[in-house]
Structure 1
Amino acid sequence: MRYTPPTPSDLEKLKQELKLSSAQMAELFGVQGGRQWRKYTGGETPREISPHLLFFAMARLELDAETIDRVLARMRSIGATIELDKP
């Protein structure tokens, strides 16, 4: 797989388009809080967003609830514990 991550400014633009706080973006991307999210959008050496985090967030934006529930059920069927609404 070839992957070029979005730039920090691309991620900030998405945040503004969605009208979400840093904490809400962290929840969307599955990272630990707004402070963690800001590591991807700023600072001296911002982190690159991994393809799996980006895929997870975009899937949550694009897929309907039934499809997401089906994927989560498949994850649980092989032993995962996952609750999207829990920190």
Structure 2
Amino acid sequence: MLYTPPTTTDLADLKQELQYTGKQLAELFGLAGDHQWRKYTGGNTPRPMSPQMLFFAAARLELDEKAINRVLKRMREIGAVIDLDAEADEPVSDRD
């Protein structure tokens, strides 16, 4: 797979296009908070966006709720614990 991550300018353009705050973008990309989002958009050496993170955000922007729920259901069937509405710092419930 060939992948070149979006530049910090690309991510700033997305933020402007969506008119999202840093916190909203962090949630979209599955990050812990806007402080994590800034690691991808600023500093001397911004962190490159992984294809998985970009895919997750793009899917959430493009797929309808039914399709997203189908994917989340499959993730849970595989063994994941996932709750998109939970705060990132909430403890994961014990599965055993």
Do Structure 1 and Structure 2 share a fold, with TM-score over 0.5?
yes
- The question of 1:10 aligning with 2:45 is answered no
Q: How far apart in 2 are the matches of 1:75 and 1:6?
A: 26
CA root-mean-square deviation: 0.6
Q: How far apart in 1 are the matches of 2:30 and 2:23?
A: 10
Cα shift at 1:79: 1.2
In proportion to residue count, which structure has more helix?
Answer: 1
Cα shift at 1:53: 0.2
Cα shift at 1:76: 0.6
Whose radius of gyration is greater, 1 or 2? 2
Cα shift at 1:77: 0.8
Q: How far apart in 2 are the matches of 1:31 and 1:12?
A: 16
* Same amino acid, percent of matched pairs: 64
Task: State the 4+ residue runs in structure 1 displaced beyond 2 angstroms.
Answer: none
The equivalent of 1:33 in structure 2 is 33
Cα shift at 1:51: 0.3
Unmatched runs of 5 consecutive residues or more in structure 2? 88-96
Cα shift at 1:84: 0.5
Counterpart of 1:47 in 2: which secondary structure? coil
Cα shift at 1:32: 1.0
Unmatched runs of 5 consecutive residues or more in structure 1? none
Counterpart of 1:80 in 2: which secondary structure? coil
Counterpart of 1:85 in 2: which secondary structure? coil
Cα shift at 1:86: 0.8
Counterpart of 2:44 in 1: which secondary structure? coil
